[in-house]
Amino acid sequence: MAMTGKLFEAQSLNKEAFISYSISLSIEPDYIPSINSTAKLLIKLGMQSLPLARSFLMNALRLEPTNQDAWFNLGLVSKMEGSLQQAADCFQAAYELALSTPVQKFE
């Protein structure tokens, strides 16, 4: 369902994407890519959705503290809320994690 959500999002079908991500999370609540994607959609919706987006991102970071996408998106939320120092800290964390991430995953 997460890939279906990405396809809907690419077509700017945000409502359908949100539904797909919600279904994905109902099946696997701790699936970080769906948590991040849901938060990104909420960020697109604007100021009223930011507290919910923040909640999703904090949950993602609780599950995976080294998730650079979650840190970056949390930085966006903080910036939009006017918490510039917190935004800078989040962006810094995302940047440092990106530097330490291997170009190719070792699997």
Q: 7 or 58: which carries more pLDDT confidence?
A: 58
The pLDDT of residue 102 is 73
**Directed axis angle between helix 68-81 and helix 32-45, to 10°?**
20
Q: pLDDT tens digits for 78-104?
A: 999 999 999 999 999 999 999 987 766
> Residue ranges per domain, the chain?
2-100
Q: pLDDT tens digits for 17-61?
A: 989 999 999 999 999 999 999 999 999 988 999 999 999 999 999
Q: Could you tell me if residue 88 is left (phi over 0), alpha (psi between -120 and 50 degrees) or otherwise beta?
A: alpha
The pLDDT of residue 50 is 96
The pLDDT of residue 107 is 56
CATH number assigned to the domain covering 2-100: 1.25.40.10
**Cα dist. 17→26, 45, 58 in Å?**
14, 13, 21
